[in-house]
Structure 1
Amino acid sequence: MVDIKKVAGPVQLGEGPHWDPAHQCLLYVDITAGHVHRCYPDTNKHQHLIVEGGSTGGSVSFVLPVESRPDLLVVGLGRSVAVVEWPLDAPDQLTVKPKCVLHGVDDHHPTNRFNDAKCDPSGRLWAGTMGDEGETPGVVDPEKGGLYRIGTDLTITKEVDKISLSNGLAWSSDKKTFYYIDSLTYSVDAFNYDDATGKLSNRRTVLDYKAAGLVPDVPDGMCIDKNGNLWVANFFGKKVICIDPSVGKVVRQVETPAPHVTSVCWGGKDYDTLYVTSARTGLSEEKLKKDTLSGGVFAITGLGVKGLPPVCFKVSPELLAKRMS
């Protein structure tokens, strides 16, 4: 039996959930507030990191741990990728400045910002940007962003251009397919993926939201389960959908308590809990009174399926220490 419960929140624009198996906690961000959260569902402990913004903006759009350094996190800070230090024994609320900025991008589009990010099977960091967003969620300056790959040697490469709103990322367990969402194409796409080099090729559509009758839902964050099926958060849609990419069809839908669902990840001791973030952004006061759990973080159990362990950023400690010095 499927069960949904709120485990944290509310926040204004929750995003980027990442399960930390070593410490059995959930990392996620509040983008517009510039905050990172660390939630321990088993104990209800909750820590809150305020990251001071830099010259490329103050939004914090993603958070990913650095492998072998549990006190270091990589975050999207405006148009920059930065490293912050957050010890596990830190106070429940802490304000920090970045230890260093690894890269800044999109200088020719200064109102852009980073959005979703994830690490591939080899530990490279993939992060995409989006155009300027106005007062209405999902309405952005089109085709101004890109999808970037940061290698374990910290070199950066733009892999996909003319992105409007970069979002969900996932890799197949055989390391041959990369799944990707540019939200404003209203589709979930696939690429051939070369794990040795990180190169992409042969972009094609897995699911067309308009053809599937899902619009006005907007595809947002995404993760993959052990069966190779994709779980996609539907902003505006109050649900998470499960897609079988081998046939390009929706095989399951799970309704959530929040209309603006933003992202998903697998977690828990056996990776059988689907964690879901949501947003209050764009909801009127009247709507918020009705949908009182908007902006919450939810745990969905009883789905009968398990996810895959997450991957951390596998940069060498020596190289990172040199950049932070």
Structure 2
Amino acid sequence: MPEPICVWDLKATLGEGPIWIAAEQALWFVDIKSHKVHRFHPESGETKSFDAPDQVTFLAPRAGGGFVAGLKSGLHHFHPETGFAYLGEIEPADLNNRPNDATVDAEGRLWFGTMHDGEETPTGALYRLGADGQPVQQDQGVCITNGPCVSPDGKTFYHTDTLEKVIWAYDLGADGELSNKRQFFRLEIDDAWPDGSVVDAEGYVWAALWGGHGAIRISPAGELVDRVTLPAINVTKPCFGGPDLKTLYFTTARKGLGDEQLAAYPLCGGVFALPVAVAGQPQYEVRLDLP
């Protein structure tokens, strides 16, 4: 497999949530702790950055334009030309939670998790955004939720409990309800935790490794089949992009690293690209009649 290359040495504090917008042939992602939204156009190398009013944790493209964005203060609509507009609260502020990772399924449903902002208590939960624009809780009791993603046939939903090092699988019903929760994969790598994930067109799960210098590929049967290494310690999430969806992009983070680690791995916080043989799934749009 080719070596991953750094395509934007951004030095993000907590780069996260990459998504590929085919109409623009561009990668969008966030830097949660720096309150930034970023856009990278690989063909031209053009980069753009936008300020967010708070910790911005995910972007999900919205049918009709713009994005649904997760911020610590709640859900917002984000458009590059007009900025952020508040849509509604997710959870009470006294929980000190914030959203984390998200995905959109083929039916246009937005899925996302919340997590304790101090990474200390299991107050996080998994949500699906209902047809009325209100979050519907699907699971709970997690400190750091991560990696929501869906199999190509739309029948299996995956969700990661980062601190427990477990990726869970569920049956996903046509009505958007989850059932039959079971352990799909447990990470047995020391000093590494499963972070964001994505499913390729063959149904294999790619999971980023926080602290693990890369990512792993897991078969639909839950077997570890491949591992890639990046010159960055904290890898946060993969995303398929490019004209043929055969480029894996990875966001990374500098958060939690000391001067010695950053000196040894100066590209931490950058965005990386890796050509792969199996394409990813397209990025779906949120199809809800939101304000």
Does structure 1 residue 98 correspond to structure 2 residue 77?
Answer: no
TM-score where L is the length of structure 1: 0.86
Does the 8 Å CA contact 1:67/1:312 hold for their aligned counterparts?
A: yes
Instruction: Note the C-alpha offset of 1:97.
Output: 5.1
Q: What letter is aligned with 2:168? A: D
Instruction: Note the C-alpha offset of 1:216.
Output: 2.1
Does structure 1 residue 273 correspond to structure 2 residue 247?
Answer: yes
Deviations 1:87-134 (A, max 9, x none): 4xxxxxxxx6522x222122164311111111122111111110132x
Does the 8 Å CA contact 1:73/1:86 hold for their aligned counterparts?
A: no
The residue number in structure 1 matching 2:105 is 120
The residue number in structure 1 matching 2:115 is 130
Instruction: Note the C-alpha offset of 1:226.
Output: 1.1
Does the 8 Å CA contact 1:152/1:313 hold for their aligned counterparts?
A: no
Larger Rg: 1
Q: What letter is aligned with 2:240? A: W
Structure 2 Cα separation of the partners of residues 126 and 25 of structure 1: 22
Does structure 1 residue 68 correspond to structure 2 residue 64?
Answer: yes
Instruction: Note the C-alpha offset of 1:19.
Output: 0.3
Count of aligned residue pairs for this structure pair: 290
Structure 2 Cα separation of the partners of residues 258 and 114 of structure 1: 24
The residue number in structure 2 matching 1:44 is 45
Instruction: Note the C-alpha offset of 1:282.
Output: 0.7
2:157 to 171, 178, 187: 178
With over 3 angstroms needed to count, the CA separation of the structure-2 counterparts of 1:108 and 1:36, relative to structure 1, is closer
Instruction: Note the C-alpha offset of 1:6.
Output: 1.1
Could you list the runs of 4 or more consecutive aligned residues of structure 1 that deviate by over 6 angstroms after TM superposition?
none
Does structure 1 residue 244 correspond to structure 2 residue 219?
Answer: yes
Does the 8 Å CA contact 1:106/1:145 hold for their aligned counterparts?
A: no
Q: How does 1:1-325 map to 2 (within 5 A)?
A: 1-8=1-8, 9-52=10-53, 58-69=54-65, 72-87=66-81, 98-99=84-85, 101-107=86-92, 109-133=94-118, 140-194=119-173, 196-209=174-187, 213-246=188-221, 248-301=222-275, 303-316=276-289, 320=290, 323=291
Instruction: Note the C-alpha offset of 1:208.
Output: 1.3
Does the 8 Å CA contact 2:98/2:116 hold for their aligned counterparts?
A: yes
Does the 8 Å CA contact 2:18/2:249 hold for their aligned counterparts?
A: yes
SS at match of 2:163: helix
Deviations 1:2-53 (A, max 9, x none): 131111222111000000001100000000011100110110111111012x
Structure 2 Cα separation of the partners of residues 126 and 34 of structure 1: 21
SS at match of 2:262: helix
**Uncovered stretches (5+) of structure 1, i.e. residues with no partner:** 53-57, 88-95, 134-139
Instruction: Note the C-alpha offset of 1:156.
Output: 2.2
The residue number in structure 2 matching 1:137 is none
Deviations 1:236-275 (A, max 9, x none): 00011000131x2110000011010000110100000000
Instruction: Note the C-alpha offset of 1:305.
Output: 1.3
Structure 2 Cα separation of the partners of residues 131 and 66 of structure 1: 26
Q: What letter is aligned with 2:80? A: W
**Uncovered stretches (5+) of structure 2, i.e. residues with no partner:** none
Instruction: Note the C-alpha offset of 1:312.
Output: 1.4
Does the 8 Å CA contact 1:109/1:144 hold for their aligned counterparts?
A: no
